[in-house]
């Protein structure tokens, strides 16, 4: 009965599949929905929505599939709420007019509002009848009627009998400012394990298989424990245009340092572009020869570079930067970036700026590294790429 509903969820971007279908069937069999549609809504949302930004997509699909609410109705609601958030200045009323406005009760106001919405054809301001702003009508926003229904959460006189439209159909953003928990959740996707060490862990599957091969005679099999084998090299751009992003970079650094599933984590700093040297401190002191670092970190390491990729073009093309380890090497900054990308097949560049600002030098660097926005969604995509690897741009 709910298969078509699952297909509608997929059409609206909610990621559901066989697992959710089986879980819903089992929950229905256990009568967890209490035999009501409201119960089914709560149960299905708990089982099918795995991301906060999918909540509105689920609500749209449920309203359309089970209540017959068309998408046009939702679009009309959004348009109505948009202009109600921008009310015009209201006019002053006389004492007699204010007294007349207090005569209607809530039931009458509700019925009148439904009738007005059926008849109204567009925006209206400073009136006394239609749903609008800045007027004396009992329905709208920013008006002076003390006994009406306020629509939306825009500014008003706080005298309404009730507020309608507080729940707005709006996709929740996945590019919100990251906190440490968001980063830790994403970094948990970076997992790689190997079995090494002494044979001191019971291999249940191997024991069962060998016992069956020995005609039921118990044959214990042991195996080495599974240990983390993930090594991460984190390079952070500091200073200049990165100063506004210092807080989110600090959170990333803190989450990476607290991660317990890395076998080894090394963190170094640079300014604008990576040349022949990176630094152990954010003050760009205690430099480390980049070639020596690459000899210590083999290609199995995961490389994460954090920076806004915004600099003067000559910093990519010139070898004479004050941050270069050897000004006579003749290697421009772009060549060092390409060398890093070639050495580490699992590499990603995290950019705290919005994608709309990735032009100029950022466009050039995107041809060398896979670049992701330093947001919740971007960090998850970067973690997936770092574990999967693949061709560079």
Verify that 219 and 250 share a domain, yes or no. Answer: no
Does residue 16 sit in the same domain as residue 64?
A: yes
169 falls in which pLDDT band (50, 70, 90)?
very low
Q: What percent of the chain has pLDDT over 70?
A: 61
Closest CA to 160 of 117, 113, 96: 113
Are 255 and 378 part of one and the same domain?
yes
Verify that 239 and 379 share a domain, yes or no: yes
Which residue in this structure is represented by tokens 């991460």? 232
Shared domain for 237 and 364, answered yes or no, is yes
Any domain includes 247: yes
More confident: 293 or 257: 293
Same domain as 383, residue 303: yes
**Range(s) of the domain holding residue 130:** 77-164
Residue 137's Cα: distance from chain center in Å? 41
Residues 240 and 356 occupy one common structural domain: yes
What is the per-residue pLDDT across 133-162, written as a single tens digit (0 to 9) for each?
666 666 556 555 544 555 554 444 434 444
Report, as an integer, the average pLDDT of 81-110. 62
The pair of structure tokens assigned to 330 is 């003749």
Whether residue 101 is found in the same domain as residue 28: no
Q: Find the mean pLDDT for residues 259-266.
A: 77
Q: Is residue 185 part of a domain?
A: no
Angle at 294 between CA 292 and CA 295, to 5 degrees: 65
Same domain, 20 and 104: no
Which token pair is 196? 């090494």
Residues 255 and 356 in one domain: yes
Query: Is residue 191 in a domain?
Result: no
pLDDT confidence of residue 327: 45
| Neighbour tally for 191: CB within 10 Å | 13
Q: Residue 176: which pLDDT band, with cuts at 50, 70 and 90?
A: very low
CB-based contact 47:33 (threshold 8 Å): no
Write the CA distances from 347 to 75, 95, 181, 227, 322, integer angstroms.
42, 71, 23, 22, 26
Tell me how far apart the alpha carbons of residues 249 and 374 are, in angstroms, rounded to a whole number. 9
Are 87 and 39 contained in the same domain?
A: no
Whether residue 69 contacts residue 120, with contact meaning beta carbons closer than 8 Å, is answered with no
For the stretch 276-288, pLDDT in tens is 888 988 888 878 8
pLDDT (tens digit, 9 = 90+) per residue, 67-77?
A: 887 776 666 66
Paired residues of 266 in beta bridges: 233
Q: Are residues 141 and 268 in the same domain?
A: no
Segment 12-65, tens digit of pLDDT: 888 888 888 899 889 988 988 888 988 999 999 999 998 877 888 888 888 888
């Amino acid at each position: 009965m709910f298969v078509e509903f699952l297909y509608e969820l997929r059409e609206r971007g909610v990621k559901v599949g066989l697992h959710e279908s089986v879980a819903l069937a089992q929950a229905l069999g256990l009568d967890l929905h209490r035999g009501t549609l409201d119960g089914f809504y709560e149960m299905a949302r708990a089982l099918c929505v795995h991301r906060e930004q999918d909540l509105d997509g689920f609500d749209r699909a449920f309203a359309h599939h089970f209540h017959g609410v068309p998408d046009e109705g939702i679009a009309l609601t959004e348009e109505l709420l948009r202009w109600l958030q921008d009310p015009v200045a209201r006019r002053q009323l006389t004492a007699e007019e204010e007294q007349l406005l207090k005569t209607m009760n809530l039931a009458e106001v509700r019925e009148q509002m439904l009738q007005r919405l059926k008849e109204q054809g567009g925006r209206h301001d400073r009136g006394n009848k239609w749903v609008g702003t800045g007027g004396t009508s009992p329905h709208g926003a920013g008006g002076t009627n003390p006994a009406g229904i306020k629509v939306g959460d825009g500014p008003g006189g706080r005298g309404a009998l009730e507020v309608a439209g507080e729940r707005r159909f709006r996709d929740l953003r996945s590019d919100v400012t990251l906190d440490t928990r968001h980063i830790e959740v994403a970094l948990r996707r970076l997992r790689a394990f190997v079995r090494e060490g002494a044979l001191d862990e019971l291999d249940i599957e191997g024991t069962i298989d060998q016992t069956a091969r020995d005609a039921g005679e118990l044959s214990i099999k042991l195996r080495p424990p599974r240990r983390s084998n993930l090594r991460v090299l984190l390079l952070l751009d500091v200073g200049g245009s990165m100063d506004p992003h210092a807080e989110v970079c600090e959170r990333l650094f803190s989450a990476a340092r607290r991660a317990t599933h890395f076998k080894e984590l090394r963190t170094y700093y640079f300014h604008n572009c990576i040349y022949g040297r990176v630094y152990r401190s954010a003050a760009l002191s205690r430099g480390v020869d980049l070639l020596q670092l690459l000899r210590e970190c083999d290609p199995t390491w995961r490389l994460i570079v954090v920076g806004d990729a915004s600099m003067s073009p000559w910093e990519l093309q010139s070898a004479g930067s004050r941050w270069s380890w050897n000004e006579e090497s003749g290697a421009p900054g772009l060549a060092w970036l390409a060398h890093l990308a070639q050495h580490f097949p699992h590499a990603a560049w995290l950019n705290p700026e919005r994608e709309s600002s990735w032009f100029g030098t950022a466009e050039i660097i995107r041809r060398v590294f896979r670049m992701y926005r330093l947001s919740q969604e971007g960090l998850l995509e970067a973690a997936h790429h770092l574990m999967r690897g693949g061709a560079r741009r």
